[in-house]
Homo-oligomer: A and B are copies of this chain.
Amino acid sequence: MTNANITWVEGMQFIARGDSGHAIVIDTKAEDGGFGSGPGPMEVLLMGVLGCTSMDVISILKKKRQPVTGLKVLATGERRSEHPKCYTKIHLEYVATGEVDPEALARAIQLSEEKYCSAIATVRGVTQITSSYRVEAAG
């Protein structure tokens, strides 16, 4: 079981808190009636997907003793223009730094997307997931 709750503060400002005890502010921009005091809910959903797959990729690279020194993942989410504005497609661009074998990175991403990533597996019924990757020199 994974649990969380949310409490309305004012306007479109909410505090969400998870089982871990950690809380975040979720809000909308001023033009949507909020204070712009935190990420919007669909950003937060995307952050969950990013966190899940990034943890997989780092764990797998470490297990393969790949000398990864950095990892950044950029998510681009396309959404329906009509309600509900669900994600129709999320592209994930993985950028690793360090002397990482590109094939090991590709394999780690594949394992995350196909086997381990609980967040990708949750959205994949509706959202098409695509990805790309590259290894960059550190610095």
CB <8 Å contact, A42 and B75: no
Note all chain B residues with C-beta closer than 8 A to A14. 50-51, 54-55
A71 at the interface (CB under 8 A from B): yes
Note all chain B residues with C-beta closer than 8 A to A83. 115-116, 118
CB <8 Å contact, A51 and B6: yes
CA distance A124 to B50 in the complex (A): 19
CA distance A43 to B20 in the complex (A): 8
From A55, which residue of chain B is reached at the shortest CB distance?
Answer: B12
CA distance A49 to B102 in the complex (A): 34
CB <8 Å contact, A50 and B20: no
What is the CB-to-nearest-CB distance from A33 to chain B, in angstroms, rounded to a whole number?
8
A84 at the interface (CB under 8 A from B): yes
CA distance A79 to B121 in the complex (A): 11
Note all chain B residues with C-beta closer than 8 A to A18. 39-40, 43-44, 46-47
CA distance A126 to B101 in the complex (A): 34
**Contact residues of A with B, CB < 8 Å?**
1-8, 12, 14, 16, 18-20, 22, 24-26, 28-29, 33, 36-52, 54-55, 58-59, 70-80, 83-87, 115-127
